[in-house]
Amino acid sequence: MKQYIVDAFTNTVFSGNPAAVCVMDRWPKEQWMMQVAEENNLSETAFIVKEKSAYRLRWFTPGTEVELCGHATLASAFVILNYYENNSDKVDFDTISGRLTVTRRKNLYEMNFPTYELKETPVTDIMETCFGFRPMKAFLGLDLICIFENEEIIRRMIPDQNLLMKMEGRIQNVTAQGTNTDCVSRSFCPKLSIPEDPVCGSAHCQIASYWSKVLNKKDIIAYQASKRGGLLHCHLLDHGRITISGEAALFAISEIQ
């Protein structure tokens, strides 16, 4: 079985967010997929099986299966459109979160994702203790989104991983308005066995939606300020949808025995 390692939301290797993509003829046991994800020890391993005209896609962290993952979807589309369906510029994935369509537009892979309703939640002392800075606002959707005063705070913070485990949301995101982009963010995921996700596509279903309303614009350029870093091109659509686009770079192709 072939496994591809792809760096997503970047055009050069050793940056962006690496994902493993396993393309299979049939579904193995779930325990085996979980073991492969643990062995890879990347933030996500994607498993793909072709079913009729679409591909069934599942995502696993080293700790659990997740319901939505942006960078591993981008990586999966890169693999399918370059190595399996290279005469096409569109691929459909059937997932826990419904059908996800990815379209290749020159060097960008555009993903059509759902957005999530954000409800403002009180800023707490535990948030300030955890991040080392007090958020200006906090919102809860699928994940927790904490808004801070400026980009420098986002880049400097070293959150307490134990306190993150006690906070709401499966992922704790921090964001501020950017100096060179519309927004800057980071994503911490200890509940998913990921201390920090280098570039989190699914989090921007919420982060970009927030900044779209604040800045009154549908196009949001976002930068994830992790050590590896990555750029996301977001466009808010009608009916609770968003497109998130990024580049990808192949790091390796291997055979799993």
| Positions marked active-site | 44
Query: β-strands 98-105, 44-51: how paired?
Result: unpaired
| Cα(18)–Cα(155) distance, integer angstroms | 20
Rg (CA), the chain: 17
Tell me the torsion sign for CA atoms 156, 158, 10, 140: negative
| Cα(19)–Cα(70) distance, integer angstroms | 10
Nearest of 171, 203, 163 to residue 184 by alpha carbon: 203
| Cα(186)–Cα(174) distance, integer angstroms | 5
